Structure 1
Amino acid sequence: MSASDRTPPRVPPLSRETVAEAALRLLNETGLDKLTLRAIATELNVKAPALYWHFKNKQELIDEMATEMYRRMTAEAPSGGPGVSEPGWRDRILATNRALRHALLAYRDGARVFSGSRFTGTEHAEQQEAQLAALLAAGFELPQAVRTLVTTFVYTLGFVTEEQGVQPMAGERREGYDMAERSERLAEFPLAASAGTHIFEDYDAHFEEGLHLILDGVGARYGIR
């Protein structure tokens, strides 16, 4: 078969979604700071100016990346079926924030992509509506329900930001976070030295404890069990 007879590989039509998907593929390789429109254009086999038809700047692209991450997170969430009872308000918030942390950790700088981004779709509003309705049914006032959801969201986002500052991806650990070296360096401050293992290790357990602390406080403050 001659070269002229070969069918060129099919390139998906360029859209906001395909650009965001390509950006997410590259994110784990480059990290957010080195993720450029030029690199994304190369990944898509187009010229960089073609991307500006869809995104005016990098922040618009990050907004779309965060939205695509959210879409994937909700698509993976298990759905209830016949005979499955509705979770209580605590279990609902625990499940939502565990899923968020899992989604953020799937990408290098995932928490930074989410932080301060504006969702471009309305999928988040559907889940927010359901969450607020469930909290109101459990006895919350709307302002209390909103503050509860926002506080747990910000906790999860901040927790993963710090977690990824130490462990950018699974199996990686940034230089400077060796606990033995840290303890030796802070030998004059024994409590601070000992605190290291409670800050920079065993993130799963620490995340869970912190989330439960918040929910215990919510229940106590608003008088809702």
Structure 2
Amino acid sequence: MATTKIDRAQVADTALRLLNELGLDGLTVRAIAKELGVQAPALYWHFKNKQALLDEMATVMYRRLMADGVPGAGAGTWQDLLRAVNRALRTMLLSYRDGAKVYGGARFTGTDHAESMELYLGVMLEAGFELRDAARAALTTYAYTMGFVAEEQGTEPRPQEQREAVDVSARAARLAAYPLAAAAGPELFEGFDERFEEGLGVVVAGIEATYRRSAKSSPSWGSPLAS
């Protein structure tokens, strides 16, 4: 085992694969080392602690998200661009067990994200936004998507893998003394796709109304995103 050679990419890829099997709580340095056929200290040569590994895992997740280019690059409006990016982010996060927990708050280890951010900000500025407002629009939609997926994965750790504790009928019976709260169950714990789209639309409309009332809906982009 001591002679097995590993690199950062192998460790991150193995960790992401094990994440789907073990979840974040079960993803230990020991488990990753065992899967790679090395002793646990070998991983610390590449990552000083588990958070450093999580940062690299999030970076790999981001690179995979952008592997085919910025989602929505051919969109006709900035609204469609924001929707496409956040739809793709949600899909990516849901493809990993505890994906939102790993991705949220991570610090990317490279500069890959700067290129896509530069393109996004260019599109928003051309549409009439100020830099401050464009940046906050990105953060607002990102926070919405991250929060939504975190709650979604708390209910369904993996797609269609619902926890028994969030059975809507059982919940309604348990909350029978609170008819409004009981009746709200389906709106809270069912129809994730529909609810995500509706909420994303509300956020995008709010951005338009709050940050840039005069922003053009269909700018004539000179941005690389339009190419």
Q: Could you state the TM-score of these two structures normalised by the residue count of structure 1?
A: 0.90
Match of 2:91 among 92, 102, 105: 102
Q: Tell me the CA shift for residue 98 of structure 1.
A: 0.4
Match of 1:186 in 2: 175
Match of 1:14 in 2: 6
- Percent identity, aligned pairs only? 55
Find the structure with the greater CA-based Rg.
1
Distance 1:109 1:149, change over 3 A: same
Distance 1:85 1:106, change over 3 A: closer
Q: Which contiguous aligned blocks of 4+ residues in structure 1 show a shift greater than 3 angstroms?
A: 76-80
Match of 2:33 in 1: 41
Q: Tell me the CA shift for residue 78 of structure 1.
A: 7.1
Match of 1:6 in 2: none
Q: For residues 34-58 of structure 1, what are the alpha-carbon distances to aligned partners after superposition, in whole Å with 9 as ceiling and x for unaligned?
A: 1011110111111111000011111
Higher relative contact order by CA 8 Å / sep ≥ 6: 1 or 2?
2
Which structure 2 residues correspond to residues 169-208 of structure 1 after superposition, within 5 A?
Answer: 169-208=158-197
2:208 pairs with 1:216: no
Q: Distance in 1 between matches of 2:69 and 2:158?
A: 22
Q: Tell me the CA shift for residue 110 of structure 1.
A: 0.2
Match of 2:53 in 1: 61
Q: Tell me the CA shift for residue 171 of structure 1.
A: 2.5
Distance 1:167 1:63, change over 3 A: same
Q: For residues 56-103 of structure 1, what are the alpha-carbon distances to aligned partners after superposition, in whole Å with 9 as ceiling and x for unaligned?
A: 1110000000000011111145789xxx95531001110100000000
* Counterpart secondary structure, 1:176: helix
Q: For residues 131-162 of structure 1, what are the alpha-carbon distances to aligned partners after superposition, in whole Å with 9 as ceiling and x for unaligned?
A: 00000000000010001000000110010000
**Ranges in structure 2 where 5+ consecutive residues have no aligned partner:** 218-227
Distance 1:113 1:49, change over 3 A: same
Q: Tell me the CA shift for residue 166 of structure 1.
A: 0.4
Match of 1:148 among 113, 137, 142: 137
Q: Distance in 1 between matches of 2:39 and 2:163?
A: 35
2:20 pairs with 1:28: yes
Q: Distance in 1 between matches of 2:167 and 2:188?
A: 12
Give the length in aligned residue pairs.
Answer: 211
Distance 1:205 1:135, change over 3 A: same
Q: Distance in 2 between matches of 1:53 and 1:192?
A: 52
* Counterpart secondary structure, 1:33: helix
